[in-house]
Amino acid sequence: MSLLTRRTVLSGASLTLLGCTVKSATPTGRDVSRVLPAMPTSDGAGVRLNRALGHRDLSLLDPFLLLDEFHTDNPNDYLAGFPEHPHRGFETVTYMIHGAMEHRDVLGNQGRLGPGSAQWMTAGKGIIHSEMPKQERGLMWGFQLWVNLPKSRKLIPPRYQDISADRIPETVVDGSRVRVIAGSAFGESGPITGIDIEPTFIDVALGKGSRVVQPVPAGHTTFAFVTEGTARLGVSRREVPKGHLAILEKGTSVELFGEGEGGRVLLLAGRPFAEPVARAGPFVMNTEDELRQAFDDYRNGRLLL
Ligand code: MN
């Protein structure tokens, strides 16, 4: 018997001990190790938002650096937007549920991010851009995720992947609606390609009593953020309410279970780098020297050179 087979049998046995109904020895379900509330804060020129990752109690989930949710129908909370600012050394991912943003960089790239759309922006060596609301009233609801780049590729040329809502595959699984932004789920492949962390990024609107099981690579950092209602997550079906982030550890799949009115969940997984992280404001590098260089380059007009 190979080592692999023996390990598979053992993990199957432990699942039975937990009272889980999974019949196959694989995949092994992850469980929730921590649940943390998002923290209210403001950023940009005074946009009110909730920070789920990248705050005092959870500064990093390698390779994920930050997750912000903006969700308000008060224009005073979002109109100031994010005027011109730089980035270097990582990627920003914007995902809109309601409302519209416009991005514009100093090289002339621009685009509108409407409801249901996504943008995966690889800042690499440098980008200077603005991200401003494209509406004066009504609900603005979206997310920004920051994803690290490996040390060897922090200074690659910038790249945009602007994905309109109709290019994001959507499927229905056991009464739940699943949108696949990156990675594979239920036979669909997300439109985002060529990303170092090999991301899985799905948006699951859980139906009442619905059970969705998503495979994730064993070594990938995995977390879920509940965006509506309440969801039950992991093999022990831990209850996680709206506005909370759940870390899911050890295993090759994640179970999402819709209870009550269902609930909606962003599920993210990615390959960690296990490299030093030096970050300040809009720059994420590996050392303090590289951070100083980034600030110097920006001040001296050399960030994009
Ligand atoms: Mn930005």
Burial code of 117-131, b = ≥16 C-beta within 10 A, e = fewer? bbbbbbbbbbbbbbb
**Calpha distance 11→151 (Å, rounded):** 35
Residue 82's SS3 state is: strand
Say if residue 108's pLDDT is above 80. Answer: yes
Query: What domains lie within the chain, and their CATH numbers?
Result: 35-166+276-305 (2.60.120.10), 168-274 (2.60.120.10)
Provide the percentage of residues in the chain whose pLDDT is more than 70: 91
Distance 56 CA to ligand 1 centre (A): 21
Identify the pLDDT of residue 26: 63
What mean pLDDT comes out for the span 59-74? 98
Distance 304 CA to ligand 1 centre (A): 15
Distance 25 CA to ligand 1 centre (A): 44
Which helix (H) or strand (E) element contains residue 201?
strand 200-205
Identify the pLDDT of residue 262: 81
Which residue's structure tokens are 């994730």?
A: 216
Read off the pLDDT of residues 174-214 as tens digits, 9 standing for 90 and up.
999 999 999 999 999 999 999 999 999 999 999 999 999 99
Q: How confident is the model at residue 259 (pLDDT cuts 50, 70, 90)?
A: confident
DSSP symbol at 30: P
Distance 188 CA to ligand 1 centre (A): 29
> Of 13 and 33, which is predicted with more confidence?
33
* pTM, to two decimals: 0.91
Q: Which two tokens stand for residue 116?
A: 């249901």
Say if residue 6's pLDDT is above 50. Answer: no
Distance 291 CA to ligand 1 centre (A): 17
Say if residue 2's pLDDT is above 60. Answer: no
Distance 38 CA to ligand 1 centre (A): 20
Distance 65 CA to ligand 1 centre (A): 13
Identify the pLDDT of residue 216: 98
Distance 136 CA to ligand 1 centre (A): 20
